[in-house]
Amino acid sequence: MKNNDCELSRRQFIKNVSKWCTKTLGVLFFPYLLTLRTGFTRAGQEKVFEPSYLKLLTSSELKTRSEALWEIMVSCELCPRKCGVNRLKGKRGFCQAPGATLVVSAFHPHFGEERPLVGYGGSGTIFFTHCNLRCVFCQNWEISHLGRGTKTTIEELALMMLALQEVGCHNINIVTPTHYSPHLVKALEIAAKKGLRLPIVYNTSGWERIEILKLLDGIVDIYLPDFKYWEGEKAAKYSSGAWNYPDITKRAILEMHRQVGVAKPESDGILRRGLIIRHLVMPNNVSGSERIMEWIAQNLPKNTYVNIMAQYTPLYKAFDYPEISRRITKEEYERVVEKAKKLGLTNLDIQGFRWFLGSIEKVPQASVRLRQIGPYS
């Protein structure tokens, strides 16, 4: 009996141990299997993401691209102004960037960008100073026109990117990057080697040369261009003579779409790749909004992400131009949204009503009094 008892308990023991092992292994491995299946890590529920630039880093192509961009500054043609100044010798072109010196205004998580860029951790925004377009109504005129910021080395820019990743941002959102694109790519190379894994958002006026965009192919994961004007005449009037803005921007947006495709947020709601077009509706149809919606519907997929922005505010020198010296009305905004919907655009970012004035009949075409007493008159 004793032997039998002993046999039984040994069998029981083995059974218990095997049960325990099955349970424990299950607990340990189930989340791992889930990770393989869904792409989420166990630790932070963050989607496993590999930005495009990692491939270029491995093949040393990132270095080649940054050097090619840097070399363009010898006779600067980084943007459609094609000033031809030698920025490496400290010369300034139209954008007023101080030669090859990078000046950064600010960097911080931004919670006011498009929702799929902001997520829960914010968009890691870095504001570059100066601008090649220099619009008369610029809301960031102290940064873009006056160049208020701090001289920043490439290494410091890389550290900014890493710091934004560290605090939980979902992307590195470079505002007005065009004239500092060589600096961006050089810094990215350093940051990627140190562990940067966030997608780069190229937050631009849309007025980009195709040749430069091709050098950014495989580096930028999210393009965020404006499409500001339908008519070259308006672009020239409000954006420092940039009469070719509409044609160049159309070509640039098509190239951006070719590179990154339609913006589709992932299962966690965060966007990691794709094109978002921003269009700012301006008073008195100055921006030609309905024509722009038509062009998008005819030339890009119907599910292209289009942010129809309502927040136009007359700032800086806008009061020198009566037709743009007020906010837009509810009717003006709704007309554009209705047009976009009629055209079959399905991925519209539409804003609420907090920005709007009343009926269009009640809106003065220009605020002469403000022009006389305003801070910029």
Residue, CB closest to ligand SF4:
93
For residue 350, the surrounding DSSP H or E stretch is: strand 348-350
CB atoms < 10 A from the CB of 247, how many? 12
Select 126 or 308, whichever has its Cβ closest to ligand SF4.
Answer: 126
Q: Any contact of residue 93 with ligand SF4 (CB under 6 A)?
A: yes
Rounded to a whole number of angstroms, the minimum distance from the CB of residue 248 to ligand SF4 is: 12
Per CB under 6 A, the list member of 83, 100, 213, 222 interacting with ligand SF4 is 83
| Interface region with ligand SF4, contact rule CB under 6 A, candidates 87-95, 279-287, 325-333, 345-353 | 87-95
Q: Any contact of residue 132 with ligand SF4 (CB under 6 A)?
A: yes
DSSP state of 126: E
CA distance 204 to 224: 6
Q: Any contact of residue 85 with ligand SF4 (CB under 6 A)?
A: yes
Per CB under 6 A, the list member of 65, 81, 228, 273 interacting with ligand SF4 is 81
| Interface region with ligand SF4, contact rule CB under 6 A, candidates 91-99, 234-242, 248-256, 267-275 | 91-99
| Interface region with ligand SF4, contact rule CB under 6 A, candidates 63-71, 80-88, 326-334, 366-374 | 80-88
Q: What's the CA angle centered on 331, arms 328 and 334, to 5 degrees?
A: 100
Q: Any contact of residue 97 with ligand SF4 (CB under 6 A)?
A: yes
Amino acid type, 73: M
| Interface region with ligand SF4, contact rule CB under 6 A, candidates 74-82, 155-163, 216-224, 237-245 | 74-82
Whole-Å CA distances, 189 to 1, 57, 61, 162: 75, 7, 10, 12
Whole-Å CA distances, 299 to 144, 255, 286, 296: 31, 12, 22, 5
Per CB under 6 A, the list member of 53, 94, 107, 141 interacting with ligand SF4 is 94
- The residues in 151-180 that bind ligand SF4, with binding defined as CB under 6 A, are 179
> Which string of DSSP letters, residue by residue, matches 131-156?
-SS--TT-TTHHHHTS--SEEE-HHH
CA distance 221 to 201: 7
Q: Any contact of residue 277 with ligand SF4 (CB under 6 A)?
A: no
Q: Any contact of residue 78 with ligand SF4 (CB under 6 A)?
A: yes
Whole-Å CA distances, 346 to 60, 114, 275, 304, 374: 40, 16, 14, 8, 41
Per CB under 6 A, the list member of 56, 69, 79, 126 interacting with ligand SF4 is 79
Binding residues for ligand SF4, rule CB under 6 A, total 14
Residues that bind ligand SF4 (CB under 6 A): 76-79, 81-83, 85, 93-95, 97, 132, 179
